[in-house]
Structure 1
Amino acid sequence: MENKTIARTLRLLSQLMEIHNENPFKVKSFSSAAYTVDKLPYPLSKKTLAEIEKISGIGKSTSAKVWELLQTGKLQELEDFRNRTPEGIIEIMSIKGLGPKKILVIWKDLEIENLGELLYACNENRLIEAKGFGLKTQEEIKKAIEFKMASSGRFLYAHVQELAEQVLAGLKQVFPSQQMSFTGPYRRKCEIIDSIGILIAAPLSDNVYERINAISELAVTEKTENTLTAVSPAGMTLHISFCKEDDFVKELLIQTGSSDHIEELTRRLNNSIPPAATETEIYSKAGLPFIEPELREGHAEFSMAEAGKLPQLLEHGHLNGVLHCHSTWSDGVNTLREMAEHCRDELSLQYLGISDHSKTAFYAKGLSEERVLAQHDEIAQLNQELAPFKIFKGIESDILFDGSLDYSPEILATFDFVVASIHSVFRMSEEKATSRLIKAIENPYTTILGHPTGRLLLARNGYPVDFKKVIDACAANGVVIEINANPLRLDMDWRWHQYAIEKGVMLSVNPDAHSNKGFNDTHYGVLAARKGGVSPMNCLNALNLDEISSFFKGKRLVN
């Protein structure tokens, strides 16, 4: 066993001991020994126990630990601390700049137990006011986590979009007159991207190889007859393919769709996709209308196309307002006025649905009953000043473990709308999670079911849910389901959007914004909605001000 491994083990033991409030003297002793071992000019593995005990900076008690590690390959005391510590906390300890004191705040005060939750908390600006943190520290942690997540070779769409556009712009300078386009999962707007595909109507030559190698610091790692594979500094793989100009449309279609989609389309074209001037022409030869790239997943797009039921997909311009937003009343960074004026003046929207955290979310300065009423007074005043723009009085009410919401009916009745969400106790069976959600859905004051599974992409699986039962309950109770637009969530998953639409359930693209900058996430929610086949008529916040006012009023009258 190498000295660095021994030092790393002792350092981890000292950190875990500090987190668990063990004897400070022992903590310092193991920490110092780790430093000493790491700097030794000779391997400890070749020393006897007696020789190790004599090394300055290690000491007798620590020597016993080193010897145990050398003889058995592990430390029992370390294993005991590991068993008392969530695995996600140990992973968080690998983030640069986070010592035991900060990790203790993250774990115990903020109740965060893995990297995904920590990244989401950074997006919500929850670390800014936590003890020992601040805006600069929060941004450093966020960047470190994103880098660590990227090292797995999988990326969120939102995290690769800037790189993809930069590379495409660079390629257009190299090939100013040739056709080119994104392909594959990136063109289909998949939520998780393993690689970026680009197709160019040009021959692959050695000159091209050299010029591409200089774009955005790309490093070309492989060359085949028609494809270059390159890697970005962040670890994203790009496959840049080349084809004849006459074959561009055909190849674009083939390289865009999922394998299931292309297999079915090929079958309908007598096992051969022909060259064509447009993709629409190819689909027409198969007896089908044009199928948007986002839908080409091999799910229900062919049956919908045959039945003439392909939707007019939602576009960002269809949205007339935003719901599910957090201000400085809870854990947001912008005031109500700032958010409202930004929506009105910068985004040209008609309304804002504020929904700060409810009282159970103490970590996010959740609103007590008294503060709810005070916020409503401010909203009334702002609505007079900002008319015809309107702020709707909402709340993100926590769904408690028994499925109830954390306010009384009297308080819930004061809101224009209520987003019901789970924020605690995620370890549940499918039966428990489903019954918990359904009870919240059946609450007459629930308007929108927020991020239904609690998932954090590439970081935390959502709790298991019987979606058919949950969606059926929403249909029976007139409850809208959220498409949480935060690129870490995109929850409800697009694969369930069509089932919801078939049941008559409205969907709402909600940014879950904790700042004015957070409104930009609506972009990713719209992309997810498009993949799910959502049209403006199925989207709550595509309603104009009069329409959504009537919708909220109708929901309240039912109560």
Structure 2
Amino acid sequence: MTNSEIVDLLELTGRLMELHDRDAFKTRTFQTAAFNLDKSTADLPNLPVDELVKLQGVGKSIAQKIREIAETGHLSDLDELLAQTPEGVLDMFRIKGLGVKKVRTLWQELGITNLRDLQLAGENGQIAKIKGFGASTQEKILAALEFLQEQQGKVRMDKAAMIANLLHDELATHFERVEVSGQVRRKAQEVDLIQLLIQTNDPVSAMLTLKKLPNLAQNEAESSPFAWRGQLAGFDVQIELLFYPAEQINRQLFIQTATETHLKQAGTGGVPLLQVAYSSVLAEIVDSADVAEVEAAIYERAGLPYIVPEMREDDFAFRWASRHQNEELVTWDDLRGTLHNHSTWSDGKQSVADMAAYCRELGLAYFGIADHSKTASYAGGLDAERVRQQQLEIDALNRGFSTDFRIFKGIESDILGDGSLDYDNETLATFDYVVASVHQTLTMSLEKATTRLLKAIENPYTTILGHPTGRLLLAREGYPIDHRAIIDACAEHNVIIEINASPYRLDIDWHWIEYAMQQGVMLSINPDAHDLVGLLDMHYGVAIGRKGGLTKAMTFNALTLNEMTTYLQQRREKIRM
């Protein structure tokens, strides 16, 4: 069991206790413990009761529950509650805007026990008639249901990679060669099919081997003699395992990675990439173990520039290649620092010192702290006095570093409803930089959202526009914005746009990266890290940046420490003028 798994079980127990109207005090003990432990860095699975009770929000009873979870993998209290709760009622918690009380009302007053009944009740107008709901809530529920249906069977980039790697490692013990292909290799931000290629000259034996693997459930109707299709236990996303002999697997890796639109692209001879890939003229090199050599040869024979796997989506990559070289694309090694991160001063799990130390381990030259601002009280946002205290701590830490590392003083300032920034100008002037983000009142029209962001961009203290649409992939659709107007305004006011590298966000969407670069707007690959591991999310940001054609030259946090220091200093001096 991990910390997050333990916290999830405690949180779910508290939620179901509230749903079933159990003792309010006991319910709060679970909810309080889950809230506090979510930020804890303690090794919860391995702590004894007498150590657990020393943690904030943990009494002896909860400590014993944690030990039960750690030792057995489940909690008897939760098992009892789950047995009394229809599975469909649990699904209702996934609906944006439905808290425990509303779910209980829908269940008890309308007898709704699944999402299908919930949708029918909304379409029939029954929800709007319930006291405390109304037509507006009903409309939002129906919209959220539609969004969830569209996302069904998909997983985020990070989970897709995890599943693909699990499959790869398992299959590699049974087959000579296994390759991750398709959407995962292409670094798609949302994945509905996880595909791997298996090298074999005996597909019948290969299929028998797969049938023996315990966690694979085959969909025989969708499978064929050369393709196993089904699911991995515990995940809804579809799995496809394709069988190819050694002489075909390299070219098939190319074909299966690219989209149909990409493969239709024709080169100087008018022959589409797909046809070239199948051509016999490649016979002399397809046996090569070097996949890159085979793929490069396919593009060369087609008379087209080589396109990296991330960009094999459509014809955009070829337009990009007419102006750029692949060597210009940003890489992890190009990143020199990180600028949007949180610490225990707000809702992060590690101290500023620990986060900075890990950045140094990663070989970065600077760490920017951007904790939440005062309006984000739910996330421990900093008031002006706590800002001052944090900055004193940063000054002390910086005195302990040599000239090759520095902590920058930033803030993630809420963009308020009218587009103004949290804090007065006097406080904003104390920061090295400001990440301006929307966190509250997310239901907006395109005009309202665009106007709100434009005002924030016009504020001279805004350095970086954070997660521009506020989306959460597969969970919450972003508010609509006029991307061109926003990017044009950032160009006019010299504001950087964030690529929020959290796999939950990946916002700004990669489709708008090229336009931003054309307008001269730099992009910052920001992890929005709340713990040490979160800093590694910049890998996802790099992948999405490359998919959109982001170059090192237009990547803000590819600036060296000296370049970043000079840039931020000159920007502050310009504001004072």
Equivalent residue runs for 1:124-523 within 5 Å: 152-176=152-176, 178=177, 180-215=178-213, 217-222=215-220, 223-233=223-233, 234-265=235-266, 270-271=271-272, 272-273=275-276, 274-275=279-280, 276=282, 277=285, 278-310=294-326, 312-344=328-360, 346-388=361-403, 389-523=405-539
**Contact 1:269-1:285 at 8 Å conserved across structures:** no
Q: Which amino acid aligns with 2:154?
A: R
Alpha-carbon shift at residue 238 of structure 1 (Å): 1.4
**Gap runs ≥5 in structure 2:** 1-14, 25-80, 86-107, 112-116, 286-293
Aligned mates of 1:514, 1:386 — CA distance in 2: 23
Residues 468, 82 of structure 1: alpha-carbon distance in 2 compared, 3 angstrom cutoff: same
Q: Which amino acid aligns with 2:329?
A: L
Three-state SS of the structure 2 residue aligned to 1:284 is helix
Aligned mates of 1:289, 1:77 — CA distance in 2: 56
Residues 433, 75 of structure 1: alpha-carbon distance in 2 compared, 3 angstrom cutoff: closer
Alpha-carbon shift at residue 204 of structure 1 (Å): 4.5
CA RMSD of aligned residues (A): 3.5
* TM-score with structure 1 setting the length: 0.73
Three-state SS of the structure 1 residue aligned to 2:319 is helix
Question: Which residue of 83, 97, 100 maps to 2:133?
Answer: 83
Give the total of aligned pairs.
448
* Alpha-carbon displacement from aligned partner over 1:352-371 (angstroms, at most 9, x marks no partner): 10011111111111111111
Alpha-carbon shift at residue 172 of structure 1 (Å): 2.2
Match of 2:12 in 1: none
**Contact 2:320-2:549 at 8 Å conserved across structures:** no
Aligned mates of 1:152, 1:453 — CA distance in 2: 21
Three-state SS of the structure 2 residue aligned to 1:489 is coil
* Alpha-carbon displacement from aligned partner over 1:466-518 (angstroms, at most 9, x marks no partner): 10110011111111100111111000001111111111111111111111222
Aligned mates of 2:110, 2:166 — CA distance in 1: 52
* Alpha-carbon displacement from aligned partner over 1:175-215 (angstroms, at most 9, x marks no partner): 22x4x422221111001010111123423422211222344
Three-state SS of the structure 2 residue aligned to 1:528 is helix
Aligned mates of 1:17, 1:217 — CA distance in 2: 34
Aligned mates of 1:490, 1:423 — CA distance in 2: 16
Q: Which amino acid aligns with 1:519?
A: L
Q: Which amino acid aligns with 1:555?
A: R
Residues 372, 308 of structure 1: alpha-carbon distance in 2 compared, 3 angstrom cutoff: closer
Aligned mates of 1:267, 1:459 — CA distance in 2: 44
Alpha-carbon shift at residue 392 of structure 1 (Å): 0.2
Q: Which amino acid aligns with 1:168?
A: H
Aligned mates of 2:321, 2:110 — CA distance in 1: 68
Alpha-carbon shift at residue 261 of structure 1 (Å): 0.6
Aligned mates of 2:247, 2:501 — CA distance in 1: 39
Q: Which amino acid aligns with 2:467?
A: H
Alpha-carbon shift at residue 221 of structure 1 (Å): 2.1
The answer to which of 314-323 and 500-509 deviates more is 314-323
Three-state SS of the structure 1 residue aligned to 2:297 is helix
**Contact 1:330-1:365 at 8 Å conserved across structures:** yes
Match of 1:558 in 2: 574
1:537 and 2:538 matched: no
**Contact 1:357-1:367 at 8 Å conserved across structures:** yes
**Contact 2:154-2:236 at 8 Å conserved across structures:** no
Alpha-carbon shift at residue 309 of structure 1 (Å): 4.6
Alpha-carbon shift at residue 379 of structure 1 (Å): 0.7
Q: Which amino acid aligns with 2:391?
A: H
Aligned mates of 1:485, 1:77 — CA distance in 2: 38
Aligned mates of 1:360, 1:247 — CA distance in 2: 58
Residues 114, 311 of structure 1: alpha-carbon distance in 2 compared, 3 angstrom cutoff: farther
Percent pairwise identity: 42
Q: Which amino acid aligns with 2:402?
A: A
* TM-score with structure 2 setting the length: 0.71
Three-state SS of the structure 1 residue aligned to 2:179 is strand
**Gap runs ≥5 in structure 1:** 1-11, 22-34, 40-62, 92-112, 116-147
**Contact 1:167-1:216 at 8 Å conserved across structures:** no
**Contact 1:356-1:366 at 8 Å conserved across structures:** yes
Aligned mates of 2:441, 2:269 — CA distance in 1: 49
The answer to which of 538-547 and 487-496 deviates more is 538-547
Alpha-carbon shift at residue 374 of structure 1 (Å): 1.4
**Contact 2:196-2:241 at 8 Å conserved across structures:** yes
